[in-house]
Amino acid sequence: MRKILLIGMGPGGPDFLTVQAIDALNRATVFFLPDKGAEKAELREVREQICRRFITRPEIRFVTIDIPQRDAPAGDYRATVDDWHAQIAARYRQVLIDELPDDGCGAFLVWGDPTLYDSSLRILDRLRADGLPIEYEIIPGISAVQVLTARHRIPLNRIGESVTITTGRKLGAAHHAAEDTVVMLDGDETFAKIDAGDTYIYWGAYLGMADEILIAGKLADVASDIQRVRREAREAKGWIMDAYLLRRSDGGA
């Protein structure tokens, strides 16, 4: 049976790979590279660096999978994403059948951790449910959340408290943050639109990369700085990846 490894590669560069991930890189013979058409050269370079640095077996191949563009959500967000996943699954199915021998081992290098805001796992599940005989393994990776808290030298949770992980879209719809909230996938600077109250923000962009930027402080004081720095950085590099933790300041640790 075909085997697929979803290898968590961490959120920024080769230094984040675990020993398990390096071993997995050397078990696969075919590397699938999903291409959304918009991936920046710098991000592709990170994947290439990882492969160059850690793969020691000579007989490997790279296969690009063209990913269709997602339609703009018209009303039902979930239905739009579901349709898009069905189209991606169809592409994956064809490429896996064409490019991976029946008993072959292929791999996807997944940004951060494969179980956090990433669809690769759902798409493989869908293929299996549709009858494609594949098995898969997930190699956990360090997520952007872990690098964010490590760089700011803060615990992710306060003693005995819970943490919400959400998206800019969800935070925007809620108009306020739960007690401790990590926000990812926020292209709309939602932190600047919610009720700041006595909330602190710990913000990071390009975490783990050479251009990493960190800003922390009372949201009301630093929101406009973050917006300015964020826009300048995105303008200069042509892309940005950022995440932040919102924490109500009640004196808890």
Ligand X SMILES: C[S@@+](CC[C@H](N)C(=O)[O-])C[C@H]1O[C@@H](n2cnc3c(N)ncnc32)[C@H](O)[C@@H]1O
Q: Does 112 bind ligand X (CB under 6 A)?
A: yes
Give the Cα separation of 221 and 214 in Å (integer): 15
Shortest spacing between CB 182 and ligand X, in angstroms: 9
* SS3 of 69-115: CCCCCCCCHHHHHHHHHHHHHHHHHHHHHHHCCCCCEEEEEECECCC
* Alpha carbons 182 and 246: distance in angstroms, whole number: 6
Q: Taking CB under 6 A as the criterion, which residues in 11-30 touch ligand X?
A: 11-12
Contact between 205 and ligand X by CB under 6 A: the answer reads yes
Nearer to ligand X, 191 or 200 (CB): 191
Minimum distance, C-beta of residue 138 to ligand X, in the bound complex (Å): 12
Read off the tokens for 173.
């719809």
Binding flag, residue 233, ligand X (CB under 6 A) = no
Residues 6+ apart with CB under 8 A from 42: 237, 239
Distance CA 84, CA 71 (A): 8
The answer to whether 47 and 109 have CB atoms below 8 angstroms apart is yes
For ligand X, the binding residues in 56-75 under the rule CB under 6 A are: none
The window from 17-25, 124-132, 152-160, 202-210 that contacts ligand X (CB under 6 A) reads 202-210
Give me the least distance between CB of 23 and ligand X, in Å please: 20
Distance of closest approach, residue 77 Cβ to ligand X, in angstroms: 15
Under the criterion CB under 6 A, does residue 34 sit at the interface with ligand X? no
Taking contact as CB under 6 A, which single stretch among the options 47-55, 56-64, 158-166, 236-244 is the one that binds ligand X?
Answer: 236-244
* Partners of 35 in the β-ladder: 66
Binding residues for ligand X, rule: CB under 6 A, are 11-12, 111-113, 116-118, 143-144, 184-185, 204-209, 241-243
